[in-house]
Amino acid sequence: MRNKLIILLFSILLFACHRKSIPGGEGNTVSETGYASFYSDSFDGKPTSNGETFRQNKLTAAHKKVAFGTNVKVTNLSNDKSVIVRINDRGPFVSGRIIDLSKAAAKQIDMIGAGVAKVRIEYRRKL
C-alpha cells in the first residue's frame, strides 16, 4: 500500500511539473506593428530598468512588456531594413510608440533623420 501511495504522489508531482504546449506559448513568434523612436543622448551612461548601464552604441531597446533579454527583430517598414536588438529597459512612455531603440539600432534601420519610424517587431514569446 505504501509503495502505491509513493508512486501516486510521484506521478502527481511529475504531472504537475510537466509543461504543455499551448497556443501563444513558448516558441511562438509574436509580431507587433507601431512606431519606434530612439533614446536621446542624455540617457547614455544611465541605468536601465534591468540594472545595466545604457550605451547608445549597443543594439538594445526598451519595450513595455517583452521580457528582459529577449532578442527582437525590428524592421523599418519604409525601407525594409532590419536590426536585432536585446530588450534591457522599459518604455517607451509616449502614446503610439511600441519600442525605443538605442542610437546604434536606429542607425542600422535608417531612422535617425526621421526620429520616429513605423516598424514591425518580431520575437519569440517566453513563458
Please report, rounded to a whole number, the percentage of residues in the chain having pLDDT higher than 70. Answer: 78
Which of 126, 72, 77 has its CA nearest to residue 102? Answer: 72
Q: Does residue 8 fall inside a structural domain?
A: no
Q: Does residue 46 fall inside a structural domain?
A: yes
- Which CATH number belongs to the domain containing residue 46 in this structure? 2.40.40.10
The answer to whether 102 and 85 are in contact (CB under 8 A) is yes
The answer to whether 102 and 95 are in contact (CB under 8 A) is no
Q: Does residue 50 fall inside a structural domain?
A: yes
**Whether the predicted pLDDT of 40 surpasses 90:** yes
Q: How many domains does the chain have?
A: 1
Q: Does residue 54 fall inside a structural domain?
A: yes
Q: Does residue 1 fall inside a structural domain?
A: no
Q: pLDDT (tens digit, 9 = 90+) per residue, 53-105?
A: 999 999 999 999 999 999 999 999 999 999 999 999 999 999 999 999 999 99
pLDDT of residue 57: 98
pLDDT bracket for residue 20 (50, 70, 90) = very low
pLDDT of residue 60: 98
Partners of 71 in beta bridges: 86
Domain that holds residue 91: 24-124
Output the average pLDDT for the chain.
85
Q: Does residue 37 fall inside a structural domain?
A: yes
pLDDT of residue 3: 58
